[in-house]
Chains A and B, each alone.
Chain A
Amino acid sequence: MVYIIGFLTLVFLVLTIMVIARLQNVLKGVKSDDKTDGTPPGNRLNANLFILFTILSILGVIFTYVSAKADFLPEASSIHGRRVDDLFWFSMGVLAIPFLIVNFLLFFFSYKYQYKPGRKATFYPENHRLEIIWTAIPAVVMALLVFTGWRAWSDITSDAPSDSEVIEIVGKQFNWIVRYGGVENNQLGNYNYKLIDAQNEIGIDLTDENSLDDFTNNTEIHIPVGRPVLLKIRARDVLHSVFIPHMRVKMDAVPGMPTRFWFVADKTTNEIRAELGDPDFDYELACTEICGRGHFAMRMRVIVEDEASYRKWVSEQKTFLQTYPAYLAKVPDNLKAKAMKYLPAEPTAAPADSTTAQAPDAAAAAPGASASLR
């Protein structure tokens, strides 16, 4: 990196000095007499600078690319991610051709056809054949790129396979919260934004049977390796965007409009740590839609693990009800018995139950829960 900076700074400096030094002469030339041979002031110098610029920028592009490459993201850890990357570098390769040719010709012609006294430019207003050719070629290339891109896009955005592990992720100012379907039925329960309060941060609706064993996490998201994962994405305040750079995953979180993205991560955290030789490496999840002051710091760790350890981790999680037993008050009577399973074994749970059993709607029994109910 230091080399790039050094190199580019040098380029800049050299150019500056050259231009200023040479133009100083030009300035003097202008003062003494305007036209010696009719060449406009500074013309030759500018023509030469175009050639210099061409050479230096080609070197610069190659050099900086090679050194920057080391800091690019490692090979994608998801199946669609590698496909996207291949497509990206293929497109970049295709586009590098016109980039180099047109820029080169532009600067080369500028040099070659600089003003010469007595020469007359060629009157060449049009050439239909030429124009048809260079309309057709980009059209064909575009068709190719559109087709490959469209194929990839359709596959990536197709419906998630039915065996997908479904995980809900909710963005808020300024962190992410994930919710899992739970230890028992692995089904996500309903939610309602009006149920949100200080503890129930994502508005889990405990009148739904499926909610009873759901559990949440505010700092890390665990996903199984080699199996489709479907992220059900929502936001509770403003727009956010789920971005897992190493998986090439990105999808906005929109209040009032749940979105989704599915992918297959096929490299566990341990595998990539070994591969990169970096025992501290972690997959990360970031926000890429401006959401306010803390937008730049919504980090969540992503842990990819094999099925067995994933299952083990899931089974060890405390359900939402276990963490906040007071919310048993919100569970309707017919599900109370079932909900008891997910409560901590301590006797403290019992009083909470008995006080609210008579009046299921008396939200006041759960002080935290009542705050925002309306």
Chain B
Amino acid sequence: MSSLETGIDIVKVHDDEHEHHEQNFWRKYVFSEDHKVIAKQYLITGIMWAFIGIAMSVIFRLQLGFPGIDISWLRPVLGQWIDETGKLDPNFYLALVTMHGTIMVFFVLTAGLSGTFSNFLIPLQIGARDMASGFLNMLSYWFFFTASVIMFSSLFLQTGPASGGWVIYPPLNALPQASIGSQGGMTLWLISMSLFIVSQLLGGINYITTVINLRTRGMSFNRLPLTIWAFLITAILGLISFPVLFSAALLLIFDRQFGTSFYLSEIYINGEALPNVGGSPILFQHLFWFLGHPEVYIVLLPALGITSEIIATNARKPIFGYRAMIASLIGIAFLSFIVWAHHMFVTGMNPFLGSVFMFLTLIIAVPSAVKAFNYTTTLWRGNIVFTPAMLFSIGLVSLFVTGGLTGIILGNSALDIQLHDTYFVVAHFHIVMGAASAFGLFAGVYHWFPKMFGRMMNNALGQIHFWLTFVGVYLVFFPMHYTGIAGFPRRYYSFTSYEFTKSFTDLNAFITIAAILTFLAQWIFLWNFFYSIFKGRKAPQNPWRSNTLEWTAPIHPGHGNWVGDIPAVYRWPYDYSKPGAPEDFIPQTVPYSQTPESNLPHENEEIAMEKEIEAQNYNDQFKNAH
């Protein structure tokens, strides 16, 4: 009975059933268990955080570009943090740097990117009604939301938010007397991050379970879109590494509140020798970077997955080397766990360990290189449509290459001696992790906006946004390599105290101007995003002529995503421009038996499997008791 027309004949039955599920406003839009609504909640929270985080960077860039600049016009916002002469307070400068890092890494690029697209795409692309546990999923968002509120409220403390750098190394961040940011601000930071970790773990468990258990009929692992592969591997990374950050944070809380000595030893501060002995600040760094390095990939891998999907769709070509792409994802993910100490070459760690970690770190360049080459080859002899999503994906690959290559320099412990904690590092990770992942976020929003809101974003504005952002990012971060080579240390309030940092004043001013322009360009996106939600052109069923499963769902998918049965899947998601096929795409739901003209020899053999696929159970959560 379950015919290949993907159950259109059963529409009516389910429509009736659906009526009973109508929920009130609170359950539908606020405490929703629907993965699509939760995804939008993540996205909008992420966008709000992004604007706050970038605005912070603009403020401290003003101080760096124009040392001692009079910013008393910001007094209505910053109040006491601007002194009588209109200068930014050095303590608050550090707080801004710290909050910028925390917000962008965790709240924007982890929650905003992974939270949005894992939630939105996993059920839609694997053919599931919803996440494995809608309730845990809802809980995950609200833990994140609570963490957000707490972090945000720390901005308003009299002593300011945390200011010891986003890596919160003790003892600076363990001792309230060491810095005012280590007082109430740090307490709230730790509470907020602990809740955030809980949120990530709840989300991650859900993503993994859903991908493993709820794939539709025929959706074997070798037919999963690369987005899903990336989300799955990201979730596994997070599940393994976030608990370690939690333990690091917990021990820090103990040191701060209960007088333990995990990270403290032989400290004399504020005229007082502390009783703590035997602790090790290095221990914290090991624990932190055991999360911290995988975190880089937690941020980046979803962006790479999104890019894979978008580049294939818009180049109208299969992604080159599907299996190699999966293998390199897994390779990067595995290696990301055994390279953490490359952040610690000059911390006094045993030099032998430095050699080991240098070796392991440079291996990671190999799977990364494979990915870059495969993206480029995918473009080769394509038929490229420059949607804004495609532009951002191409931009991502460029940034990934440019920023990744300088990582090979920094991963080399001998070279890291000079470059560690200079602007070279800042340039490196902002390009490869910050900007590249942000480009992934933009690409994803432009690409799946029609599925999220049933409307299209403005194409021309998207293209303008891309070019301004792409050029802007390079203008901001490329020159930072030069200041890094000249030895400029990061997290400096000003470069006026040393002779060797007296140069490059013009370049620093230039970077600041470029940063402001790039920030302004983001308002184009913001306008486009919110305007299009309400007034955008109505989206067609499959605007990008894409193969993946989400475009077979209704334009406004309801709770449960598909009306009637969940479609079955017969082929991989990258049958673009297949020779012999009438169209330049063949959706995953089209069986080989319907496309004899374009089947490759081994695919004809799979026709026999179709009966088997159809005979499988529906794996439909809504059909079973729930």
Contact = CB atoms under 8 A, between A and B. Distances in A.
Contact of B486 (A71, A145, A193, A371): A71
Interface residues of B, number: 130
Contacts of A4: 479, 506-507, 510
A345 interface: no
A357 interface: no
A146 B362 contact: yes
Contacts of B492: 295-296
A126 to B, nearest CB: 5
Given A23-B460, A23-B463, A47-B386, A149 B478 contact: no
A114 interface: yes
B351 interface: yes
Interface residues of A, number: 126
B418 A131 contact: no
A190 B151 CA distance: 45
Given A91-B412, A105-B376, A288-B489, A71 B503 contact: yes
Contacts of A43: 384-386
B80 interface: no
B525 interface: no
Nearest to A150: B355
Contact of A372 (B265, B272, B468): B272
B346 A125 contact: no
B434 interface: no
Interface in B460-495: 460, 463-464, 467-468, 470-472, 474-475, 478-479, 482, 485-487, 489-495
Contacts of B355: 150, 153-154
A139 B346 CA distance: 26
Contact of B497 (A105, A135, A296): A296
Contacts of A139: 366
A311 to B, nearest CB: 27
Interface centre among B169, B322, B375 (most CB of A within 10 A): B169
A15 B471 CA distance: 8
A281 interface: yes
Contacts of B418: 81, 84-85, 88, 245, 248, 250
A267 to B, nearest CB: 15
A292 B173 CA distance: 9
Contacts of A237: 171, 175, 178, 267-269
A256 B267 contact: yes
B354 A153 contact: yes
Contact of B467 (A19, A27, A246): A19
A255 interface: yes
B584 interface: yes
Contacts of B380: 109, 113, 122, 124
Given A131-B324, A243-B489, A152 B414 contact: yes
Nearest to A156: B414
B397 A106 contact: yes
Contacts of B271: 198, 371-372
A15 to B, nearest CB: 5
Contacts of A374: 273
B22 interface: no
A313 interface: no
Interface in A252-274: 252, 254-257, 259
A319 to B, nearest CB: 22
A252 B285 CA distance: 12
A183 B340 CA distance: 44
Given A5-B509, A9-B510, A41-B460, A87 B164 contact: no
Contacts of A95: 405-406, 408-409
Contact of B385 (A115, A243, A291, A371): A115
B467 A49 contact: yes
A297 interface: yes
Nearest to A234: B266
A205 to B, nearest CB: 13
B395 to A, nearest CB: 9
A236 B268 contact: yes
Interface stretch (B102-110, B129-137, B575-583): B575-583
A282 interface: yes
A257 B348 contact: yes
B414 to A, nearest CB: 4
Given A239-B281, A257-B265, A98 B464 contact: no
A103 B514 contact: no
A110 B379 contact: yes
Given A9-B510, A289-B421, A41 B369 contact: no
A374 B271 CA distance: 12
B11 to A, nearest CB: 31
A293 interface: yes
Contacts of B370: 131, 134-135, 138
A256 B386 contact: no
A150 B362 CA distance: 11
Contact of B317 (A116, A122, A142): A122
Contact of B405 (A23, A98, A110, A134): A98
B316 interface: yes
Contacts of B397: 106
Contact of A103 (B324, B401, B463): B401
Contacts of B281: 239, 254-257
B504 A238 contact: no
B475 A8 contact: yes
A186 interface: no
A157 B402 CA distance: 30
Contacts of A115: 383-386
Contacts of B273: 193-194, 196, 372, 374
A41 B419 CA distance: 45
A306 B268 CA distance: 36
Interface string B190-207: 000000000000000000
A173 B178 contact: yes
A256 B266 contact: yes
A142 to B, nearest CB: 5
A196 B366 contact: no
A217 interface: no
Nearest to A88: B415
Contacts of B394: 50, 106-107, 110
B309 to A, nearest CB: 15
A120 B574 contact: no
B513 interface: yes
B338 interface: no
Contacts of A8: 475, 510, 514
A146 B359 contact: yes
A203 B413 CA distance: 33
Interface in B420-476: 420-422, 459-460, 463-464, 467-468, 470-472, 474-475
A95 B415 CA distance: 14
A194 to B, nearest CB: 5
A295 B419 CA distance: 18
A30 B463 CA distance: 14
A144 B253 CA distance: 44
Contacts of B372: 102
A91 B409 contact: yes
B533 interface: no
Contact of B365 (A23, A68, A138): A138
Contacts of A194: 268, 273
B44 interface: no
Interface in A1-35: 1-2, 4-5, 8-9, 11-12, 15-16, 19-20, 23, 26-27, 30
The 7 closest A-B pairs by CB, nearest first: A256-B265, A157-B351, A259-B348, A245-B487, A152-B414, A1-B506, A71-B503
21 contacts: A12-B475, A12-B517, A43-B386, A73-B485, A73-B500, A109-B384, A113-B379, A113-B384, A122-B577, A124-B320, A125-B320, A126-B320, A131-B324, A142-B366, A150-B359, A157-B354, A238-B170, A245-B418, A251-B348, A292-B94, A299-B498
Given A4-B506, A121-B382, 17 more contacts: A40-B385, A41-B460, A60-B478, A68-B479, A84-B417, A92-B409, A109-B382, A114-B384, A146-B359, A149-B412, A236-B266, A243-B487, A245-B487, A251-B346, A256-B280, A282-B499, A290-B94
